[in-house]
Chains A and B, each alone.
Chain A
Amino acid sequence: MSAGHDSGMTPQAAAAEIHRTAHQVRRRARWQGWLFLAVAAVNFGFYIAVGSADRTVSRALSPLPILLAVVIFLVASRQPVVGRDAARINKPVVVAGLATAIAGLVLYQTVMPQGFTGWLVLLAAFMVTPFLAGAWRWLRP
C-alpha cells in the first residue's frame, strides 16, 4: 500500500489540505454545542417557570421536556456531520443533565423555599450546568 510515488501533491500541500478539511469539519460539527446551549436556555426557563408558577401552569408546561427531546432528535438527524467522539462527549452530558435535574427536583421539594426566589434561579442554573459544559466543549475555539 505504500510507495515513494508522485501523486502530484507535495507533502506541504497534503498537510495544508488536512488542516483545511479538519477545520471545516470541526466548524460544521459545532451544531452540537449550539444545541446544548439551546437545551440549557430552554431548561433554565422551564425550571424557573415550573418552580414559580402555580400547579395548573406547571401541569400545562410539563410536556415541554418531551417536546424538546423530539426537537433535538429532529435537528440532530438532519445534520450532515457528527463531530469526532460525539458519543463519548454527549452521553455523559445527557446523563449528568438528568442527574442534576433529579437532584434539583428533590432539593426543591425538600429544603428550598417554594415560589420564585433567588435560590430557585441558582438551582435552575445548577440544573443546566452539564449542558453548558457540553456547549463549551463543542464551541470552544
Chain B
Amino acid sequence: MKIRGNHPRYRLDEVIHAPVRLSIMSALAAADRADFRFLRELVEVSDSLLSKHMTLLEEAGYVEVIKGYQGKRPRTWFILTDTGRAAFDAYLAALHEIVGTGPSQPPPVS
C-alpha cells in the first residue's frame, strides 16, 4: 500500500531531489544562462553524466537547451524554463519547511 502523507518531504520533487540534478537546478536558478563546460566543472561530473541528467531535466520541461557556435567551436547553453523555476521555487519552499528556515534565510550548513 502506498502512503502519501502531509510531511513536506512528500512535496520534494524527485526530478530535482537527486544530487547532480539539484546542483544543476540551483546553478541555473541563480543564472540567466550557463554553458555546458561551466556546469560540468561546477557539478564535477563527466560529460556523459551531465548530458544524461540534462536530458531528464529537458524532458521534464525544466530546462531549455540552446546550441550555438563560438567561432568554429560548438557551444551549448542551458536556461531554466518558467516551469523549471516554479518547480525549483516549490522545491525550495518544501526544503525550507523541512530544515526550518525561511526562504530569505541562509540554509544551515552541516
Contacts and interface: CB of A to CB of B under 8 A. Distances in A.
Interface residues of B, number: 42
Interface in B73-110: 87, 92, 95-96, 98-99, 101, 106-110
Given A2-B12, A12-B99, A18 B22 contact: yes
A26 B92 CA distance: 18
A82 interface: yes
B109 A16 contact: yes
A109 interface: no
A21 B26 contact: yes
Which secondary structure dominates where chain B touches chain A? Answer: mixed
Contacts, number: 115
Nearest to B4: A4
Nearest to B29: A22
Contact of B110 (A5, A16, A81): A16
A25 B17 contact: no
Q: How large is the interface on A (under 10, 10 to 19, 20 to 34, 35 or more residues)?
A: 35 or more
B32 to A, nearest CB: 4
B42 A1 contact: no
Contacts of A24: 27, 42
B72 to A, nearest CB: 14
B52 interface: no
Contacts of A63: none
Given A11-B9, A18-B92, A25-B42, A1 B15 contact: yes
8 contacts: A2-B11, A2-B14, A9-B18, A14-B22, A15-B99, A15-B108, A17-B23, A19-B106
Interface of A: 1-5, 7-19, 21-22, 24-26, 28-29, 77-78, 80-87
